[in-house]
Amino acid sequence: MDIILQVENLKKNYGKITALKGISFEVKKGEIFALIGPNGAGKTTALRIIATLISPSEGKVFFRGRNIRENPDFVRENISYLPEEAGAYKNMKGIDYLKFMANFYAKDSREANTFIERAVNISGLGERLNDKVGTYSKGMIRKLLIARALMTKPLLAILDEPTSGLDVINALEIREIIREYVKEGTTVLLSSHNMLEIEFLSDRVALIDNGRILEIGTSEELKNRYSSRNLEEVFRRVVQ
């Protein structure tokens, strides 16, 4: 399987605080790869570097074989990044928000219409897209944002805590959307502190804490390696 993303000895300092202490991992084309760990572990910092929003203090990242610091435009044209704190314009109708974002990314009106149609289907919001975003529940907003992130069919979708704060039903629906879109050819890199959820969603996971990656593998490999019932137990044993 091809490697779409390669991270090598990535470090990030914020003054005297070291958020990343030399992490390395690879993401294979067509997989869901998750960085999991507690809040403040360094997950979001890593994703923001890969998305070219901030620069690393040390280390390199390669996307499809190209150094992202030397080819930021190529990276931005082929990835989509959804931050945990992302929101949509509350005074806009859902469909108008999707149209606005589609026109922002599309090369022409035909491509924009394709993006909009795809986003409508991904969101599953139906007639509620004709209502203002300010009337949406948190789950509905997240579905709208996931649709925005995936409507361009990016080669790599970077999702930071995609189901954070959602109830069980909405979280399940978001997970199903992500799974289905991977079948369409998109690779997914995501972060989460919900280890049980990610256990069922991801092909491989990296356990990260205090700026360091502690283990990488499939859920089953890690559970077998540490004789544990779930990834939460694995993480506790690795840390201890």
pLDDT at 208 (0 to 100): 94
pLDDT for 88:
83
Q: What are the residues whose beta carbons fall under 8 Å from the beta carbon of 160, sequence distance 6 or more?
A: 43, 44, 47, 81, 82, 83, 84, 190, 191
* Residue 106 in tokens: 């599309």
Task: Give the count of beta carbons closer than 10 Å to the beta carbon of residue 110.
Answer: 9
What confidence score (pLDDT) does residue 84 get?
82
pLDDT in tens, 142-200: 999 999 999 999 999 999 988 887 888 888 888 888 888 888 889 999 998 888 888 88
Per-residue pLDDT reduced to its tens digit, 60-117: 999 999 999 999 999 999 999 998 887 888 999 999 999 999 998 899 999 999 999 9
Inter-residue contact 49 to 8 (CB < 8 Å): no
Query: Among 82, 38, 20, 56, which Cα is nearest to 192's?
Result: 38
Q: Tally the C-alpha atoms within 13 A of residue 205's C-alpha that lie toward its C-beta.
A: 28
β pairing state of 79-82 and 156-160: parallel
Give the per-residue pLDDT at 1.
Answer: 57
CA distance 161 to 116: 24
* Helix and strand counts by DSSP (H, E) for the chain: 9, 10
pLDDT at position 91: 93
More confident residue, 119 or 240: 119
Q: What are the pLDDT digits (tens) for 1-55?
A: 599 999 999 999 998 899 999 999 999 999 999 999 888 889 999 999 999 999 9
* Residue 217 phi, psi dihedral angles, 5° rounding: 165, 180
| Count of residues making up the chain | 240
**Confidence at residue 158, expressed as pLDDT on a 0 to 100 scale:** 96
Q: What is the mean pLDDT of the chain?
A: 92
- Measured CA to CA in angstroms, residue 31 lies from 75, 113, 142, 187, 199 at distances of 18, 28, 22, 5, 14
Which of 178-186's residues contact partners 24+ apart within 8 Å by CB, and which partners?
178/32, 178/146, 179/32, 181/122, 181/150, 181/157, 182/30, 182/31, 182/32, 184/153, 185/30, 185/153, 185/155, 186/150, 186/153, 186/154, 186/155, 186/156, 186/157
